[in-house]
Amino acid sequence: MMEDNKRKKLRLPERAVTPQKLKLLITIVNKNKAEFYMDFLQSFEVNLQLKMNARGTANSELLHYMGLEESEKRVIFSLIREDQAQPALQALEEKFATLRGGKGIAYTVPLSSVAGVAIYQFLSNNKRMAKEKK
């Protein structure tokens, strides 16, 4: 009901597409698994990903002693549409648990604003919106 009133006030057509918000998905994984996770995340309609080298600092003295510690990490920043964030996190969680040497952390940070319509369409993979514009 609220939505309807809001639409009338703003004179938006009934079928206007309500834009979905974006989130920044941050995934931290071992260096050799970064490519795999980037490919994997692309299946969640992610169009832009950035990766960078990083170093983990968790104190796992036992692991260190046993020489098992892999502190060279890759951080992957992916811009993901809100509705895809939860499925992506769940799928990542499963991969973290099952993949050998594929453990990692992933979390999302909400974005408050994006500048530029074309950029938004690109980041949210909103093909319909882009088509209507043409």
Partner 1 sequence: MDYAYEMIVCIVNDGFSDAVMDAAKEFGASGGTVMFARGTATHEAEDFFKIAIHPEKEMVMILVPKELKDNILHALYRSVGLKTPGQGIAFSLPVDSVVGLSHPTNAEEKAEEET
- Contacting positions for partner 1 (CB under 8 A): 23, 26, 28, 52-59, 73, 75, 85-86, 89-90, 92-93, 96, 103-110
At 7, list the tokens: 């639409």
Query: Looking at beta carbons only, is 91 or 129 nearer to partner 1?
Result: 91
Give the nearest distance from C-beta 16 to partner 1 in angstroms. 25
Query: Looking at beta carbons only, is 42 or 90 nearer to partner 1?
Result: 90
Whether 50 contacts 63, CB under 8 Å? no
Whether 89 contacts 57, CB under 8 Å? no
Query: Looking at beta carbons only, is 102 or 129 nearer to partner 1?
Result: 102
Give the nearest distance from C-beta 28 to partner 1 in angstroms. 5
Give the nearest distance from C-beta 134 to partner 1 in angstroms. 34
Query: Looking at beta carbons only, is 23 or 81 nearer to partner 1?
Result: 23
At 119, list the tokens: 């950029």
Measured distance CA(107)–CA(132) in Å, rounded:
33
For the chain, first and last CA: distance in Å? Answer: 32
Give the nearest distance from C-beta 133 to partner 1 in angstroms. 30
Measured distance CA(78)–CA(17) in Å, rounded:
23
